[in-house]
Structure 1
Amino acid sequence: MKKVRLADVADLAGVSMKTVSNVVHNYPHVTPEMRRKVQQAIDDLGYRPNLTARRLATGKTGMIALAIPEIDHPYFSELSRYIAEEASRLGYRVIVEQTLSNPEAERAVLNDREAGLVDGVIFHPVRMQSMEVARLQRDVPVVLLGESTMPVTADHVMIDNVVAAQEGVRHLVGEGRRRIAFLGMVSGDTTGSTDQRLLGYQQGLVDAGMTPDPDLVLSVSDFTPEESSRAVAHALASGVAFDGLVCRDDRFATGALFALRQAGVQVPRDVAVVGWDDTELGRWASPPLTSIAPDKRELAATALALLRERIDGYHGIGRHRIVSHALTIRESAPLGAPAFQSR
């Protein structure tokens, strides 16, 4: 198949090659009507810009990288979609890289793997600590995601996990729950998310006049629903009584729902369950999950806005942004369903 050239697009659109180039490079002075006309010709012909030529002409590739721990994690897959949509709106294409929380893979993201290939990187580190991130030399602009402590020199976007967990506990307390458990503490976890969510859970109990009970903090060996199901089943078999459960994420919550159902415990009558991330997995759980919902669309837009400013030449101190969250209430912990008093 003959390769489509810039000149072919210009001929079809009836404009100059310079106008096509301006549209391809997303220059702001092109009129909306002209941009639409050229974009239609690009779509009709299947034109793909030569990235090497673009880099030589502008110093930019029009590509960004998104480095996340797991592609198949429901939260990261949904966040990736929002980032890709926002990037497309801004004229960028996205390369997704999976690190699997491997420290060498994470270091490669900030060292040299993306150099020359992309204009910037949105990166969710898991294993790398704040000072290590700060010390690495970065030739490519980076915006960091996640709840781990990040250096003041780096741009960072997150939600307030402590406040969000407090709100989850407050909801359960408001529905009459008095023995609220947390699922769960993960062996070897270095993400920072779990510690902040546990802290918010504990503060929520204190705010309600309750004393945190270590027996109500359920431990797990990994991040799988299977392991969270095992932890809940073990707690029930050991006689640990609880009527509310705040889960580290929706995967843990779906594992908990399975274990509760297997034990004949009714949700929400006997135990009300709150998940985290408000993912499609939780929306289709049985019963559907009440879940702490980070505004993933706002998170994506904020990260892209910061990254674009870096790409365009901003060299100032790191900006730390807290985006909004909400509690999405569904059948696993609905309003007006107090704890079953005869338990």
Structure 2
Amino acid sequence: MAITMRDVAQLAAVSIKTVSNVINDHPNIKAETRSRVLSAIDDLGYQPNLSARGLRSGRTGVISLIIPDLKNAYFAELADAVMTAATQRGQAVIIEQSGGERERELQILHGPRMRMVDGILYSVLGLGQEDAGLIDIPTPVVLLGERIFNGPADHVTMQNIEASQAATEHLLELGCTEPLAFGAHSGEVIGSAGLRLEGYRRALKRAAVPYREELIIDVQAWHRSDGAQAMRRVLASGLTFDGVVAFNDSIALGAMSVMQDAGLKIPDDVAIIGFDDIDETRYSLPALSTVDPGRQEIAETAVRMLLERIDGEGANIPPREFESSFRIIPRGSSARAV
């Protein structure tokens, strides 16, 4: 039997009206009463009728997060950070997975479920700059990622070029002279892979290290298994290298496993750094050096910007662009003596 508002009111020893006021975030509720009602909601597992709530208030208290793939650890941890930031502001989050496919992204963005939320956080992967007009919809949107810049919506992203340049410089400073750019997407300019390759190029140029096409390794999908497969191909080719600038942590972890199986010592034979600072990097052997791209800052800023648009505070503000800060986190995989 479904839990009702009456059940919550009885457990919290308050009126049904008080429960409704708490659910709708009415300001004139005593803190002790609000806490008691929220505890009752949690204990009973009560789910408010969002449609009815929306009809009464014009707001559902729900935002949507569209991401490519929860199997990708970065997006899973981003979703967690978004949900934490949203909960702190009294919002619930519905997660949609697009698979990074253009038609699926458009289907979700323009689908009926998006009319039931107050706003959308949209991590673009399948669309490109030429599709900017397709995201101009009535529902407030904040874009995440590197596919569309200067579009019709607020945009929160990371410093891909600068962070990748710093990661490459980290290995060069250790004495690496033949670092792989591991995770490239052939022909890509705009997008995480294209931007991170540009950062790699800039670091080599600054250090007067020759740029060599054979050291640019394509890894189309960025999962651990793809990194492992790509590294097997590299080793089978006989290519010599002394460092790996991996464009995300998952492919770095896959590459590390294959290199160690082949008898290479990390970091003595090959130093490696990843990108994203996913939790797993702390527990690999050796622990993986990585780039913290400011995921927490991205989540908190995106939620704040979206709620400003929902509340109408940013109605007359042109679309904003925000880049998070980053930092290099050196660990055992690049602890080579200089």
Q: What TM-score do the two structures reach when normalised by structure 2?
A: 0.91
Q: Does the CA-based 8 Å contact 1:114-1:140 persist in structure 2?
A: no
1:290-301 equivalences in 2 (<5 Å): 290-301=289-300
Could you tell which deviates more after superposition, 18-27 or 69-78? 18-27
Matched, 1:100 2:93: no
Q: Does the CA-based 8 Å contact 2:136-2:153 persist in structure 1?
A: no
Once the two structures are superposed, what CA deviation does each residue of 1:97-125 show, in whole Å capped at 9, x if it has no partner? 11011111111233233333211111111
Corresponding residue for 2:4?
4
1:277-292 equivalences in 2 (<5 Å): 277-292=276-291
What amino acid is the match of 2:324? V
What amino acid is the match of 2:105? E
Once the two structures are superposed, what CA deviation does each residue of 1:144-183 show, in whole Å capped at 9, x if it has no partner? 1112232342111111011101111121122222222210
Corresponding residue for 1:325?
326
Q: Does the CA-based 8 Å contact 1:126-1:190 persist in structure 2?
A: no
1:23-62 equivalences in 2 (<5 Å): 23-62=22-61
The number of residues matched between the two structures is: 336
Could you tell me how far 1:187 is from its partner in structure 2? 4.8
- Unaligned residue ranges in structure 1 (runs of 5+): 339-343
Distance 1:153 1:32 in 2: 40
Could you tell which deviates more after superposition, 59-68 or 18-27? 18-27
Corresponding residue for 2:128?
129
Cα separation, partners in 2 of 1:47 and 1:149, compared to 1, 3 Å: closer
What amino acid is the match of 1:265? L
Distance 2:77 2:207 in 1: 34
Corresponding residue for 1:309?
308
Q: Does the CA-based 8 Å contact 2:72-2:223 persist in structure 1?
A: no
Distance 1:148 1:252 in 2: 21
Cα separation, partners in 2 of 1:82 and 1:10, compared to 1, 3 Å: same
Distance 2:321 2:267 in 1: 38
Corresponding residue for 1:341?
none
Could you tell me how far 1:137 is from its partner in structure 2? 4.2
Quick one: percent identity of the two aligned structures? Answer: 37
Could you tell which deviates more after superposition, 176-185 or 39-48? 39-48
Q: Does the CA-based 8 Å contact 2:147-2:191 persist in structure 1?
A: yes
Q: What TM-score do the two structures reach when normalised by structure 1?
A: 0.90
- Unaligned residue ranges in structure 2 (runs of 5+): none
Q: Does the CA-based 8 Å contact 1:167-1:204 persist in structure 2?
A: yes
Distance 1:101 1:216 in 2: 27
1:1-343 equivalences in 2 (<5 Å): 1=1, 3-5=3-5, 7-187=6-186, 192-313=191-312, 314-315=314-315, 316-334=317-335, 336-338=336-338
Distance 2:110 2:333 in 1: 44
Distance 2:82 2:182 in 1: 29
Distance 2:52 2:225 in 1: 50
Q: Does the CA-based 8 Å contact 1:172-1:272 persist in structure 2?
A: yes
What amino acid is the match of 1:322? E
Q: Does the CA-based 8 Å contact 1:233-1:263 persist in structure 2?
A: no
Could you tell me how far 1:309 is from its partner in structure 2? 0.9
What amino acid is the match of 1:266? K
Q: Does the CA-based 8 Å contact 2:3-2:45 persist in structure 1?
A: no
Q: Does the CA-based 8 Å contact 1:82-1:300 persist in structure 2?
A: yes
Cα separation, partners in 2 of 1:265 and 1:86, compared to 1, 3 Å: same
Cα separation, partners in 2 of 1:55 and 1:208, compared to 1, 3 Å: same
Distance 2:234 2:13 in 1: 71
Secondary structure at 2:117 match in 1: coil
Distance 1:200 1:115 in 2: 36
What amino acid is the match of 1:321? F
